[in-house]
Amino acid sequence: MLGVSRRGVHALAARGDLPGAAKIGAIWTFDPQRLKRYKASLARLAEKLEEIDEFSSAPTGRVYVAGYDHYVKIGFSAASRGARILSLQTSAPKEIKVYKYLPGDIALERALHRKFARYRLKGEWFRNTGRLNEWIGAGCPLPLTEHSAKP
């Protein structure tokens, strides 16, 4: 009934991990209704664990939009908020300003790169002009609206 061997069921019952189990002499008895509820709760728990596994296997972090003057960098970082910007700052000729941190992953970073490809300079660096400049000025709203998504 539980998808566990008879020996496994007895071990669960002996540890007190199986609701509705009682030992009478050398024989274990089980309340069928409690076993059904227990099985249903295990199924719900298994679903939750799958959701957690899916979430934890995806790279988590944030997408940052930062830059200086007419330059904008759109990148992904799994590091703490300031760590990536500090490492960028060491090679930047001017102070880098963070325009926005967006909760997201590499897929969001790539989507933003595609949306603003027209303004790409090199790699993850873009010219801060046109629709990209408007999007940053509006606070980098998500999801991208039609207005801000057009190049």
DSSP 22-37: EEETTEEEE-HHHHHH
Q: What is the pLDDT of residue 58?
A: 53
Mean pLDDT (whole number) for 49-75: 78
Look at the block and give the residue holding tokens 């008879």: 6
CB neighbours of residue 39 within 10 Å: 13
In this predicted model, what pLDDT tens digit does every residue of 69-84 receive, in sequence order?
Answer: 999 999 998 877 677 8
DSSP state of 95: P
Contact 19, 34 (CB under 8 A): yes
Closest by CA position to 126, among listed 85, 70, 64, 62: 70
Q: Which pTM was predicted?
A: 0.57
**Tokens linked to 27:** 């024989």
Which backbone phi and psi does 18 adopt, to 5 degrees? -120, 105
Contact 121, 74 (CB under 8 A): no
Q: What is the pLDDT of residue 52?
A: 56
Residue 85 and residue 106: Cα distance in Å, rounded? Answer: 17
